A = this chain, B = another copy of it.
Amino acid sequence: MQMIHRERFLQLMTAQAAFGATAAGGVSRPALSPDDHAVRGWFRQQIEREGLEYRIDAVGNQTARLACGFADAKTLLIGSHFDSVPNGGRFDGALGMLAAFEAALSIRDAGIQLPFDLEVINFTDEEGTHLGLCGSTTLTGGMTTERLAIPRDGRAALEAGFAQLGLDLNRVLEAQRDPATLAGYIEVHIEQGTRLEKANLDIGVVTSIVGIRSFWLTLLGEAAHAGTMPMDQRKDAFFGVLEYAQRARELIMRDFHPGTLNFGRVELAPGAFNIVPARATIGVEFRHGDPALFDAMESALRALAQEVATGRGLGIEIQKVDNVLPALMHEQMIEHVEAAADTLGLRYTRLMSFAGHDAQSMARVCPAVMYFVPSVDGISHNPREFTSDDDCVNAANVMLQAVLQFAQNYQ
């Protein structure tokens, strides 16, 4: 059985971690930062040294291309991202990049003739330093000039970052590819959770990437003097939000498992120790991988907010923030990954991804799948993020076998 080149691959993993290396053992490579430019330069060198074809598109996605030579061949994309959150870990994104690159090298080394072009892709700004999933969203036609106009760090920073790649912010949308040219997409990533570790499994095959919706919920009571207004006569907006948060948590855990709910921000106004809060605003974020349950979650969360407000005589305001739809992975692609794991004797399960990934953009336009390898203690976006060498090697071997499975079943 064809296997990847373990030493070459682990050396690449070590080498990439030098770019933006932090004292704590992680990497800090926000998209288009000097350290991201450095790791991009290094990746280009590796591609060219190995004799693969290097390309960069209008949004800065880098690819290593292994052409099959057939006219009108479609392209199978495999990859992830080299950018990181500030002060992140050395596996998030980079493992997916190098497992894909190593799989491509192994195929090239073995002289295997694929029925499609294979491209290893480094997507721009997966983590959202400027615009989350920027590269994959643009490649799949989901980017807009409106979104490009309001990146998180301002347009000037994004423009400067692209300029350093020789790219023009005004031409970014040209990176869109015709879906008819795409055969599929496969990505491997660390789990960023503990389900595989706890179940003692090697591989988690993702069935869907959760949708993520968020809104600001504001309950409106009446400001009052914290001394002179008796406690049983207050219209305290904070206690409304408190009842809401507690009941919402119980509701989601009871009726929408394994969907998740988080309250990451709370603001009270006027915001003084001695004034009963007139306004309490809470940031509500919820996730689910099943489109129908995702919508039902939103309905239930909105109905509960109304019920709490009515019960306490409070006003209510809801302001939408974000809305990312669940992305279903492709059943045949899932089966290719499972077959790959079987071939390698690895233990696997199906699960949802509760974090966003470039695979969700790809799933909108072509058969896509992603899979996870274990993260120790589920630690992620943290220098202590860790995945063992054996699990990294499994990631790369499954990628190689999955590409071969895809090729064998390709029509």
Contacts and interface: CB of A to CB of B under 8 A. Distances in A.
Contact of A271 (B214, B264, B285): B264
Given A266-B266, A273-B285, A285-B274, A239 B228 contact: no
Interface in A209-260: 210, 212, 214, 225-233, 238-239, 242, 245-246, 249, 252-253, 258, 260
A33 to B, nearest CB: 20
Contacts of A246: 239, 242, 246
Nearest to A232: B253
Contacts of A287: 226-227
A354 interface: yes
Contacts of A233: 194
Interface stretch (A275-283, A292-300, A333-341): A275-283
A354 B265 contact: no
Given A263-B238, A266-B268, A378 B273 contact: no
Interface string A365-382: 000000000000010110
A1 interface: no
A386 to B, nearest CB: 15
A191 interface: yes
A262 interface: yes
A241 to B, nearest CB: 9
A322 interface: yes
Contacts of A258: 230
Contact of A273 (B239, B253, B272, B321): B321
A16 interface: no
A395 B193 CA distance: 68
Interface string A80-108: 00000000000000000000000000000
Interface string A352-369: 011110000000000000
Interface in A316-355: 321-322, 353-355
B238 A266 contact: yes
B264 A274 contact: yes
A264 B253 contact: no
A277 to B, nearest CB: 6
B227 A210 contact: yes
Contacts of A230: 193-194, 258, 260
Given A232-B253, A249-B231, A354 B262 contact: no
Contact of A231 (B227, B252, B267, B274): B252
A177 to B, nearest CB: 28
Given A225-B355, A266-B238, A285-B274, A260 B245 contact: no
A261 interface: yes
A262 B273 contact: yes
A167 to B, nearest CB: 28
A281 B249 CA distance: 20
A401 interface: no
A127 to B, nearest CB: 12
A394 interface: no
A352 to B, nearest CB: 9
A139 B275 CA distance: 28
Contacts of A260: 226-227, 229-231
B226 A262 contact: yes
Given A228-B380, A274-B285, 16 more contacts: A191-B228, A194-B233, A212-B227, A214-B273, A227-B287, A227-B355, A228-B355, A231-B252, A231-B253, A239-B249, A242-B245, A246-B246, A264-B271, A264-B277, A265-B272, A273-B285
What 4 A-B pairs are tightest by C-beta distance, nearest first?
A227-B354, A226-B262, A193-B228, A192-B228
